[in-house]
Structure 1
Amino acid sequence: MLEETRLHRIRALLSTLNRVSTEKIIQHLGVSRETVRRDILKLEAMGALRRVHGGIVATSQEPEAPLSVRNTVREREKQAIARAAVRQLKAGQTLFIDAGSTTSLLADELLSMPGMTVITNSLNVALKLTATETELRHEVILLGGNMGLAAQATCGDLTISELQRYRADVALLSPVGLSSQSGASSFAHHEAAVASLMVQHANTRIIMADHSKIGLTSRIIYATMAEIDIIITDAAAADKPALASLQARCQQTILA
């Protein structure tokens, strides 16, 4: 892996989690401890982070990495999660879908299941579900609002106001962190506000989180464990000590 790519991925991790252990970086990049040490020193010299015992922290509160970056990370695991999520749905349902790399892949899988009404703030999801030369397979409602470039999604007061009018059978959400103590959480206030309202206005709440998010808590909690009906993660989460406590507190946990 090129140094430029490694540095970019370390910064993407840090912008999402705000604090990252050295062990997590080694696992994420699949490189040696010495390589990670050199990369951290270089990023610290650039002012991009600060070293602490056992890892690194952000020097400032930065927005989450752009969707284009997140789309390249753990894509196989996210595809498996998306396929498992579709198997929990029934034709004709109304869905809330928030913005994220996993929900973007969910949109691809939904093309095989006709007759849904999809309400989303994700431009990426809306475009995927309507990018067809044949008859549309779903009714797609893109919520208005301010356009956030990093997540390619709408947000703000107008988005919340529009979302207030709707109810859904299922909300499918992709958090930054998921833990048994805190529930589902996000880094950005505006993203958490949308996800929180989707949780409140849906009959069934499905959280889609790859193994890297298990056991983590980001800045803003938008769904408690009592509000989560189904957790879908990938098979690698089986090695996470935090998974057992999630399984104990959620009525259904699926390893894809």
Structure 2
Amino acid sequence: MTQEERLQQIKQMLNQENHLSTRKLANYFNISFDTARRDVVRLTETGQAIRVHGGLVAIDRSDVPNFLMRSQIDSPVKTKMARMAQRFIHPNQCDFIGPSTTLKKLCDLICGTDLQIVTNSIDNSLALMQSKLPNVRLLGGKIDKEHRFNYSITSLELLQKISFNTAFVGTSNVKSDGIYSTKMSDSELIKIASSRAKQVIVVAEKYKFDSQNTSPYMSIPLNKIDVLITDLPLPENFQKNFSPKTQIISVLRK
């Protein structure tokens, strides 16, 4: 049995038991403790489970964990994805960076870079305040305390007047026709920001593809995405949903 096959079974087991110990996994699959530990690390680093002492616990995929819960999962994979996104950052340009735990890591990485950043994310703006540069415009409006972003009609109108070099966008769910958000307000803002950008870059881990969580509002059609940064390679049948021009980058080997 390959690791990928074991991971699928482990996720099914988590749906039933919620908590699994590394020792139990080793015994169940008749593998070494070190191999079971590597399976635990793979699932937790990619945000598909939460690592606890001696094993892992399930993340409820019927709903989207709030920003603070997701930000507390220390994921080296998110850091790798953020570093890949950083390659598309260039001085003296104007970029939009949306709410996302991965994109918050990107903001940490670009402190000190001479460029203009527009965001509606409270955490992105706090990260970018660590140094004098880049220059930051935080869009105003009503604060969504759970997801930690601002929204207002005035912000939508302002976005219509700005031209971005790149829009960096996160998502809670990727379906066969587009990326989706849990909030209509978030979806509307991302839709306008991406339409004003020369290049649209989406960051999304593989588990978000056809996830069963409640994300009903489409933000961007897949054929409008220029670059997708993910963790693991996507199945060929899903890659066909993107434009042939879309660059799909996986930061991990399968």
Give me the TM-score of the superposition, normalised by structure 1.
0.70
In the other structure, the counterpart of 1:108 is 108
In the other structure, the counterpart of 2:123 is 124
Q: Deviations over 1:197-236 (max 9, x none)?
A: 11111110000111211244831111112211000001xx
**Residue type at the aligned position of 1:78:** K
Unmatched runs of 5 consecutive residues or more in structure 2: 1-6, 21-59
Distance 1:239 1:183, change over 3 A: closer
Distance 1:173 1:101, change over 3 A: same
CA contact (8 A) 1:25 1:36 kept: no
CA contact (8 A) 2:123 2:148 kept: yes
**Residue type at the aligned position of 2:172:** V
In the other structure, the counterpart of 1:222 is 219
Higher mean C-alpha deviation, range 186-195 or range 103-112: 103-112
**Residue type at the aligned position of 2:123:** N
Higher mean C-alpha deviation, range 213-222 or range 115-124: 213-222
In the other structure, the counterpart of 1:44 is none
- Aligned equivalents of 2:198, 2:155: Cα separation in 1: 20
How far is 1:103 from its partner? 1.3
**Residue type at the aligned position of 2:121:** S
Distance 1:248 1:70, change over 3 A: same
Which runs of structure 2 are paired with 1:50-199 in the superposition (5 Å)? 64-73=64-73, 75-111=75-111, 114-132=113-131, 136-179=132-175, 181-199=176-194
SS at match of 2:240: helix
May I ask how many residue pairs the two structures share in their alignment?
A: 204
In the other structure, the counterpart of 1:36 is 18
- Aligned equivalents of 2:241, 2:76: Cα separation in 1: 23
Q: Give the aligned CA root-mean-square deviation in angstroms.
A: 2.9
Identity in percent: 20
Unmatched runs of 5 consecutive residues or more in structure 1: 1-22, 39-55
How far is 1:37 from its partner? 9.2
CA contact (8 A) 1:143 1:163 kept: no
CA contact (8 A) 1:100 1:151 kept: no
- Aligned equivalents of 2:61, 2:170: Cα separation in 1: 23
Higher mean C-alpha deviation, range 240-249 or range 209-218: 240-249
